[in-house]
Amino acid sequence: MQKLCVIILNYRRAGLTIDCLESLAAEIAGRDDRSVLVVDNNSADGSAEVIEAAIRDHGWGAWAEVVRSPVNGGFAAGNNIGFRTVEAEAYLLLNNDTRMRPGSIDALLESLDRHPEAGMIGPRLEDPDGTPQVSCFRYRTPISEMLNAAGTGVLDRVFRRWVVATDVFDEPVEPPWLSFACVLVRREVVDQVGLMDEEYFMYFEDIDYSRKVRKAGWRIVHDPTARVIHLRGGSSSVKGALKSRKRVPRYYYESRSRYFAKFYGGSVGLFLTNVLWITGRGIAAARELMRTKKPHACASEALDNWTNWLRPMRAPSLPQGGEL
């Protein structure tokens, strides 16, 4: 069994994926115990062929290959294909909008060895200029939904323990969950906890899986000595929509509904979560009327939060293009 398999998902982003592979070459090439598996989520635009050609042309064939999914099942389903296809002691789930800093994989693997109680290890994510990104988070809860909707510093300070984003850390810490833009997962975790929940198309599957890993008794470690560039939003339109306050794709709200129903009391819990969101939105709206706050809610967000409210655990409606 090899030491490491890097799993990269691709959906109509061949250029991003090839650039990611190029950043991996120095970390993987010449190492018999490491490999990269690109899972193409049924791009149907020639992406798989372009990536395969790049692997041939660059001489990466000894350590990289493409496997094609018959459907675009999303983030969890694509990574599960990687788990099933390759047997490895650890898996590095890696967005194709990431670029590896020199020595980053070695640092992650060394951290996994130093922390035998850890089921997952995450690096510091950063902008290309080295500016650190928030890579650790508290659980999303009904109260955090109210705080997010309110966007009010006073409330955030009063309810600090429920604010989802944490600080940026310079020393290893154990957060509730990590960004899955880059995360190292121990094989024993997959064997014990199982695969990722494929009923999330995209978003919330990372916090869901982190909760299951911690419930099973494993620790989750963020080690900032490993640093990875994250271009943020290259593989998804959601972050761009959130930033510009445009309407977010339906699958995001389907995932949100599933998460809150799953962990906070079914449809009733989701209903109460949405009531708290509306409470927070009312606070924000009052401040916007007084011109003490800029609008920050996305278009149709109040309506879209109720997506799948009565049947929050049903299968997602898969998008036809543009996303993993």
Mean pLDDT of 306-315: 89
Distance CA 99, CA 89 (A): 23
Q: What pLDDT is attached to residue 319?
A: 67
76-121, pLDDT tens digit by residue? Answer: 999 999 999 999 999 999 999 999 999 999 999 999 999 999 999 9
Final residue of a domain: which of 190, 212, 236? 236
Q: Tell me, yes or no, whether 191 and 306 share the same domain.
A: no
Strand partners, 22: none
Distance CA 123, CA 107 (A): 9
Mean pLDDT of 40-64: 97
Is residue 235 over pLDDT 60? Answer: no
How far is it between the farthest Cα atoms of the chain? 63
Q: Tell me, yes or no, whether 246 and 307 share the same domain.
A: yes
Final residue of a domain: which of 217, 236, 255? 236
111-157, pLDDT tens digit by residue? Answer: 999 999 999 999 999 999 999 999 999 999 999 999 999 999 999 99
Q: What pLDDT is attached to residue 318?
A: 67
Is residue 175 over pLDDT 70? Answer: yes
Q: What pLDDT is attached to residue 293?
A: 81
Confirm if 22 and 1 have CB atoms less than 8 A apart.
no
Is residue 28 over pLDDT 90? Answer: yes
Q: Tell me, yes or no, whether 7 and 52 share the same domain.
A: yes
Q: Tell me, yes or no, whether 66 and 179 share the same domain.
A: yes
The domain that holds 63 is classified in CATH as 3.90.550.10
Mean pLDDT of 302-317: 89
Final residue of a domain: which of 205, 236, 267? 236
Residue holding tokens 């655990």? 313
User: Of the given ranges (160-164, 173-177, 187-191, 320-324), which has the lowest mean pLDDT?
Assistant: 320-324
Looking at the chain, the number of H-run helices and the number of E-run strands are: 12, 10
Q: Tell me, yes or no, whether 211 and 81 share the same domain.
A: yes
Q: Give the E-state strand segments of 83-210 in sequence order.
A: 88-94, 98-100, 118-126, 136-137, 177-178, 182-186
Number of structural domains (the chain) is 2
Is residue 321 over pLDDT 70? Answer: no
Average pLDDT of the chain?
Answer: 94
Percent of the chain whose pLDDT exceeds 70: 96
Q: Tell me, yes or no, whether 111 and 252 share the same domain.
A: no
Q: Tell me, yes or no, whether 279 and 313 share the same domain.
A: yes
Q: Tell me, yes or no, whether 195 and 322 share the same domain.
A: no
At residue 314 the predicted structure's pLDDT band, cuts being 50, 70 and 90, is confident
- CB burial string 279-306: b at 16+ within 10 A, e below: ebbebbbebeeeeebeebbbeebeebbe
What is the DSSP code string of 196-256? Answer: --TT-SSSSHHHHHHHHHHHTT-EEEEEEEEEEEE-SSTT-SHHHHHHHTPPPPHHHHHHH
Is residue 234 over pLDDT 60? Answer: no
- Whole-angstrom CA distances from 251 to 72, 204, 210, 235, 255 are 13, 11, 20, 15, 6
Q: Is this structure's pTM higher than 0.85?
A: yes
Mean pLDDT of 9-21: 97
Q: Tell me, yes or no, whether 99 and 19 share the same domain.
A: yes
**Bigger pLDDT: 317 or 18?**
18
**Bigger pLDDT: 232 or 57?**
57
Q: Tell me, yes or no, whether 123 and 82 share the same domain.
A: yes
Range of the domain at 301: 141-164+237-324
Coil vs helix vs strand at 167 = coil
At residue 315 the predicted structure's pLDDT band, cuts being 50, 70 and 90, is confident
Q: Tell me, yes or no, whether 183 and 69 share the same domain.
A: yes
Q: Tell me, yes or no, whether 57 and 84 share the same domain.
A: yes
